[in-house]
Amino acid sequence: MTPATPLLPPAHWRDFLALTKPRVMTLVVFTGLCGMLAAPVGVHPVIGFTAILCIALGAGAAGALNQWYESDIDAVMRRTQKRPLPDGRMDRQAALHFGVGLGAFSVLFMGFAVNAVAAAILTVSILFYVLVYTVWLKRRTPQNIVIGGAAGAFPPLIGWAAATGDIALLPVLLFLFVFLWTPPHFWALALFMKSDYAAAGVPMLPVVSGERTTRTQIGLYTIPMAAVAILPWPLGLTGAIYGIAAVLLTGWFALLAVRVAKRTTHADDAMKPEKALFKYSILYLFVMFGALVVDRWFA
Ligand code: HEM
Ligand SMILES: CC(C)=CCC/C(C)=C/CC/C(C)=C/COP(=O)(O)OP(=O)(O)O
């Protein structure tokens, strides 16, 4: 007989906030904002604000549903053990209702207040993160983040669509850029979090195929990522501000990726190259999208 689940008191608002993965989502929302600001048409500030709010709420909902589904894994990994569900600070039903309610609200609000195209892409990204990545692929294949990672690449498209009601070549390139950035971003982290994933039985690339393959794959994905990062400039979609920033920032990314790829065993660096690449990957995406907006507005 299964023991009855003890009734938990209502969770603190901070725990609901933690369910939305606020730190990761800042970059998701920022790329959405930059996608909107890079569009060739002005947006009414209220509509613009609403669109960004909806991306934030939708992404938060996706994060909550992800945590609802995988609290068993989160309970095993040191990095995630203190989350509200594995730590027993929140009732599972509450997390589920919060995620579904917030997700539905974000999509409907986007649809009614902004436009149907933005609402449709937001729906796809939430479903992609929750169903394709979390439920279907994460526990099955080391390609989980390659395919499922597409979810996190949609926000620039959503932001652009919120402004124009349409999609175009530049936001598609931005989608591809984040899509190709995700494997080096995540596998760099997975290299130094390998034992956590192994303990939880999650088939991340370093666990299944080993460190050597992961390092090579990071190097390989960096090549098309770099090409797509710079491409908007020669295509005339951006000016030299973005172009020069892209060349320099991407050059540094490539250098770090080569250091990760070449590393064979553990040397005594101040910081392991994979840790340096992971940290830089976040700063890199922030600055690249910032440079895009500066270029489109001031060039
Ligand atoms: C499937 C794709 C991805 C996976 C599996 C992944 C995984 C992770 C993990 C495990 C962390 C450590 C966070 C933590 O300590 O809880 C992290 C950090 C982070 N990720 Fe990703 N990520 C992915 C895609 C993205 C995307 C698309 C973005 C934004 C565009 C992003 C932005 C960030 C940021 C900003 C952080 C740092 C958070 C902090 O400061 O704690 N990630 N990522
Ligand atoms: C609606 C919308 C724009 C959604 C975007 C959601 C999205 C794909 C965000 C970035 C990806 C992310 C948080 C991965 C965490 O992986 P994980 O879930 O394996 O990490 P964990 O081990 O920390 O739970």
- pLDDT single digits (tens) 121-161: 999 999 999 999 999 999 999 999 999 989 999 999 999 99
Q: What is the pLDDT of residue 179?
A: 98
Q: What is the pLDDT of residue 8?
A: 76
Q: What is the pLDDT of residue 39?
A: 97
Q: What mean pLDDT comes out for the span 182-206?
A: 96
Pocket test for ligand 1, best of 20, 24, 284 (most atoms within 8 A of CB): 24
HSE at residue 224, side-chain half, CA atoms within 13 A, is: 14
φ, ψ of residue 237 to 5 degrees: the values are -85, -20
Residue 99 CA: which ligand is closest?
2
Q: What mean pLDDT comes out for the span 33-47?
A: 97
What rounded mean pLDDT belongs to the chain? 95
Listed range (6-15, 58-67, 187-196, 282-291) with the worst mean pLDDT: 6-15
| Residue 11 pLDDT > 90 | no
Residue 18 CA: which ligand is closest?
1
Q: What is the pLDDT of residue 149?
A: 86
61 CB near ligand 2 (under 6 Å): no
Residue 271: pLDDT band (50, 70, 90) is confident
- Per-residue model confidence as pLDDT tens digits over 213-223: 999 999 999 99
Contact criterion met (CB below 8 Å) for 211 and 192: no
Q: Distance, CA 183 to ligand 1 centroid (Å)?
A: 11
> In terms of DSSP H, where are the helices of the chain?
13-19, 22-37, 45-69, 71-76, 92-113, 116-127, 144-148, 155-164, 169-192, 194-200, 205-208, 210-230, 240-262, 273-298
Check: pTM over 0.90? Answer yes or no. Answer: yes
User: How far is 54 from 219, CA to CA, in rounded Å?
Assistant: 35
User: How far is 78 from 75, CA to CA, in rounded Å?
Assistant: 8
Residue 5: pLDDT band (50, 70, 90) is low
Contact criterion met (CB below 8 Å) for 19 and 67: yes
| Residue 9 pLDDT > 80 | no
User: How far is 128 from 133, CA to CA, in rounded Å?
Assistant: 6
**Nearest C-alpha to atom 20 of ligand 1 is from which residue?**
24
Which among 8, 126, 21 is positioned nearest to 64, based on CA atoms? 21
| Residue 270 pLDDT > 80 | no
- Per-residue model confidence as pLDDT tens digits over 226-239: 999 999 999 999 99
Q: Distance, CA 6 to ligand 1 centroid (Å)?
A: 33
- Per-residue model confidence as pLDDT tens digits over 95-119: 999 999 999 999 999 999 999 999 9
| Residue 268 pLDDT > 50 | yes
